[in-house]
Structure 1
Amino acid sequence: MTAKTPFELFMQQAQEMARAFNPALESFDPRRFEQMWPTMPKDAMEMWFGKGISKDGLDAKTRLLLTLAGLTMQGAQADTQVRMTVRHALEAGATRDEIAETIAQMSMFAGIPAMTRAMELAREVMNDAESKGKDEET
């Protein structure tokens, strides 16, 4: 048996506490919680985060790709934020290739592990969006 890291032991203890306080939390999945947050329309994103103040400012897609690059630079440790940024970037008109290129570019600065993790999270969202699109067409 492999020895557990302090983080693994901490997570195990936290899960045991959650089960003791509320057994329903045992199967809590943050990805389902993320889906409760609506995706903001591109026009709303631009009104609040850019073009509303400066008509020549960055558009929502560019801002979200920059945000995705920053999250990747931090090691892609914030799963929820990465997934939600990808979801909003798609809504703002970013293509799968633009998202992948943004993440891949960060491999030079953040390293391969951070890029790989961000790409896995982005792929989850893009595949989910693609399957939902197919479901709506049929």
Structure 2
Amino acid sequence: MSTAATNTALERGRDLTQQLNPNLEAVLAERYDDLLPGFSESLIEWAYGRHYARPGLDLKTRQLCTIAALTALGGQTAPQLKINIEHTLASGASRTEIVEAIWQMAVYGGLPAAINGLNAAREVFEAEA
């Protein structure tokens, strides 16, 4: 992989996280870079610069898909689910769209997973109020 391609993906990732969560890279760096140097930059480049920034789906749809997947995976994903609920709101989704994406996962991940997702959404919504 060329350095130019890496820099481009990192720049796209930084641009996108600036829109969703301006402090994300700094928070990740503070929390993880001492354990795994470069973790924050890698996550921003790979997840946001190479996946979220792809054409084909708008950002709101990608975020709703992320919420659905994290919900179906279950309660152990609650911290990531909450962050992505915040990102989904920032991408223009309504609370109703978020709750419906979570509720749809009751069919695929089970009621406990959906309830955990609804609890995460409630926490994010209440913190916003």
Task: Calculate the TM-score normalised by the size of structure 1.
Answer: 0.56
1:40 touches 1:88 (CA, 8 Å); kept in 2?
no
Report the count of equivalent residues: 86
CA separation of 1:73 and 1:90: change in aligned 2, threshold 3 A: same
Within-5 A mapping of 1:95-114: 95-114=94-113
Root-mean-square deviation (CA, aligned residues, Å) is 2.2
- Paired position in structure 2 for 1:83: 82
Identity score, percent: 38
- Paired position in structure 2 for 1:41: 19
- Paired position in structure 2 for 1:22: none
Structure 1 runs not aligned, ≥5 long: 1-38, 132-138
Q: State the Cα deviation string for residues 25-55 of structure 1 (Å, max 9, x = none).
A: xxxxxxxxxxxxxx7415x99x8323xx53x
Secondary structure, aligned partner of 1:41: helix
Question: Greater helix percent: which structure?
Answer: 2
Residue type of the alignment partner of 1:41: Q
Larger Rg: 1
Task: Calculate the TM-score normalised by the size of structure 2.
Answer: 0.60
CA separation of 1:40 and 1:79: change in aligned 2, threshold 3 A: farther
For 2:105 and 2:98, locate their aligned partners in 1 and report how far apart those are by CA, in whole Å. 11
Secondary structure, aligned partner of 2:76: coil
